[in-house]
Amino acid sequence: SSDDESQASVKDIVPNYAFAFDIDGVLLKGGQVIPEAIQAMRYLNGENPDGVKVPYIFVTNGGGKTELERCRNLTEQLKVPVSPQQFICGHTPMREMAEQYNTVLVVGGEGEKCRHVAEGYGFKDVVTPGDIMKWKASVTPFRTLTDEEYRNSRDRDFDNINIDAIFVFADSRHWGDDSQIIIDLLMSKNGRFNTISKTFDEGPPLYFSHNDIVWATNHEQNRFGMGALRVMIEALFKQHTGKELTKVTSFGKPQIGTFKYATRVLEQWRKDVFDAEGPPQTVYFVGDTPESDIKGTNLYDDHVDEEWYSILVKTGVWQPNTEPRHQPRAIVNTVLDAVKHGMERSR
C-alpha cells in the first residue's frame, strides 16, 4: 500500500489482536469529533507504554457519501490518515448486489450523493424519488422540488419503466414523500408506477442499509434513524393492504454478513499494511448501540473461532443508568478507555 496510509511503515511486531470502531456515538457526535477519539488513534499508532502499533478498521451503519469522501472527512477529524481499505459503511455491502438488478430506486442522503454512490458501485440504472416527482408532481401532493432538485433530477418515463429493487442508502430527508413513493412501488405489479397488485406480493424487494431505530447526534436525546423509517413503512403497508411486508431486508450491524465482511476487510488490511497472514486472535469491537454493535459482535463471536470482544462506551446511544439489551464484555467511559482496556487485556 502507499505511504499515505495511516498505519503504513509498521512492519515490525504485529499484535495478535485488532480493533474495530463504530463511528457515531463512539468517535463522532453530530458530525463533531469526540476529543478522546483523537487520543485513542494516537494510542493505537504507537503512543502507548509498549510503543506497539495496532491494526484497526471502522464499521459504521451510517452512509450517504462515497467511502473515499467519508474517509477524507475522517482523516481530518481524527488527525490520522483513514483509508477506504479499512472502512465499511452501511451501504458498502450493497455493492455486491449491483449485478442482480437492472433499474433500482435509491432513497436517502443529500442531493444526488446516493445516486452517485450507487452508480459508483456499478448499479446499471439508478433512479431517485426526485426523478419520479419530476415526471409527475402529483405523486407527492405536499412537496414541490426546488429549482436545484428539479435540474438535477432526470427526465424519465415511469409509465414504461419497471423498478426492480428499492435501496434506502442513507437517512431519508423527506419521510412522507419517500414513504409514499416506496409504498406505491411495494403495492405495484413488478415495480411499475400506477399499477396495483391484487395480491400485494408482486412489488420489488426493499433493502435498508441498516436497522438502527435511533442514533446519537449532538442533541441531548437520541434521534430517529433508518430503522424507524422501516417500522413506519411496514406499519403503513400493513394498514393499507392488510398484508405483512415480506420482501424487506436490512444490512449493517447487527447482521452477521456485515461482520463477515469486516473480517475480510481486516484480514486484507493486516496483510497489506502489517504483513500479517490470517485474522487476528481477538477483535475488540467498540460501539455505543447495544442493539447493533453489541448484539452483532456477541453473535459473531459465537459464530467464529476467533474472539470478538464487545466493548460498550457511554458517549452515545446507550444510557448509562439503564440495562443494555445485549450485555457487552466490558463497559467503559470513552473510546480511549476502550482502547486501553483491550490493549491491557491482550498484553
Enumerate binding residues for Mg ion (CB under 5 A).
Answer: 22, 24-25, 288-289
Which of Mg ion, ligand G3P, none interacts with 112 (beta carbon under 5 to 8 A by kind)? none
Amino acid, res. 151: R
Which of ligand G3P, Mg ion, none interacts with 60 (beta carbon under 5 to 8 A by kind)? ligand G3P
DSSP H or E run through 284: strand 282-287
Which of ligand G3P, Mg ion, none interacts with 337 (beta carbon under 5 to 8 A by kind)? none
CB 289 to Mg ion: min, Å: 5
CB 235 to ligand G3P: min, Å: 20
For residues 313 and 301, the answer to whether their CB atoms sit within 8 Å is: no
Query: Cα separations (Å) of 173 from 14, 41, 98, 177, 187?
Result: 44, 32, 24, 9, 22
Cβ-proximal residues to 335 (8 Å cutoff; 6+ apart), any chain: 21, 26, 27, 34, 36, 37, 40, 286, 313, 315
Comparing CB distances to Mg ion, the nearer of 41 and 132 is 41
Enumerate binding residues for ligand G3P (CB under 6 A).
Answer: 22-25, 60-62, 171, 210, 212, 215, 225, 289
Comparing CB distances to ligand G3P, the nearer of 109 and 203 is 109
- Cell output for 86: 479499512
Q: How many CA atoms lie within 13 A of 323 on its CB side?
A: 1
Which of ligand G3P, Mg ion, none interacts with 328 (beta carbon under 5 to 8 A by kind)? none
CB 334 to ligand G3P: min, Å: 15
CB 28 to Mg ion: min, Å: 9
Measured on CA atoms in the order 120, 209, 329, 264, is the torsion positive or negative?
A: negative
Which of ligand G3P, Mg ion, none interacts with 306 (beta carbon under 5 to 8 A by kind)? none
Q: Read off φ and ψ for residue 37, nearest 5 degrees.
A: -65, -35
Comparing CB distances to Mg ion, the nearer of 22 and 178 is 22
Which of Mg ion, ligand G3P, none interacts with 62 (beta carbon under 5 to 8 A by kind)? ligand G3P
CB 60 to ligand G3P: min, Å: 3
27: Cα separation from own chain's centroid: 15
Comparing CB distances to ligand G3P, the nearer of 24 and 112 is 24
CB 216 to ligand G3P: min, Å: 7
Query: Cα separations (Å) of 224 from 23, 33, 91, 217, 245?
Result: 17, 21, 18, 10, 21
Comparing CB distances to Mg ion, the nearer of 184 and 212 is 212
For residues 301-325, one letter each, b for 16 or more C-beta atoms within 10 angstroms of the residue's C-beta and e for the rest, the string is beeeebebbbbbbebbbbeeeeebe
Which of ligand G3P, Mg ion, none interacts with 178 (beta carbon under 5 to 8 A by kind)? none
Query: Cα separations (Å) of 197 from 44, 140, 188, 191, 257?
Result: 55, 21, 5, 10, 32
Comparing CB distances to Mg ion, the nearer of 129 and 254 is 254
Comparing CB distances to Mg ion, the nearer of 22 and 67 is 22
